[in-house]
Structure 1
Amino acid sequence: MSRDEIIDTTNTFLIEEFEVESEVIQPEANLKESLDLDSLDYVDLVVIIESNFGIKLESKDFTNVHTFDDLYDLIGSKLHAIA
């Protein structure tokens, strides 16, 4: 899956599941602040990512995820690890 496909898929489910406007999702924007995530929302985010991409995520995977770009990189690295 290409980076553009990862971004498109991710942004689509973020807009639908977290009910945010597409303009909110900017590569360098802070993920937690932009989506107004609390700890329960992170659990939902993990489940949604895992079901959309067929990957397994752990809490430690999110240690360095601060921006949307970081999230795309995480998904990309997990996809390449199973390819």
Structure 2
Amino acid sequence: MTEINKQEVFTQVKDALIELFELEADDITGEAHLYQDLDLDSIDAVDLVVHLQKVTGKKIKPEEFKAVRTVNDVVESVANLLKDA
């Protein structure tokens, strides 16, 4: 298994946020909070999970995503998912 490139995961997450929610690329940083900074809600979070499942081909457990607060948290969650493959 190759090492998971977190920069690639970040790029995928960023692209998903731009595509799904029409966010400005400059607003999406690793430290950006999904709910406060990017103005997403719980329905948006579900949409993001569904999109990431399609991109990764992996099932994301809802309980794993409950602790996610920032873009970096999403990246870590996806990277861990891919690492466990």
TM-score bucket (shorter structure): 0.7 to 0.9
Which residue does the alignment assign to 1:69? 72
Kept after mapping to 2: 8 A contact 1:18/1:35: no
Instruction: Identify, as 1 or 2, the structure richer in helix.
Output: 1
Which residue does the alignment assign to 1:7? 10
Gaps of 5+ in 1: none
Which residue does the alignment assign to 2:24? 21
Structure 1 length normalisation: TM-score? 0.88
Cα RMSD (Å) of the superposition? Answer: 1.3
Residue-pair matches, total: 82
Matched AA of 1:37? L
Give the one of 49, 54, 58 matched to 1:51.
Answer: 54
Gaps of 5+ in 2: none
Structure of greater relative contact order (alpha carbons < 8 Å, 6+ residues apart)? 2
Structure 2 length normalisation: TM-score? 0.86
Q: Structure 1 segments of 4 or more deviating over 3 A?
A: none
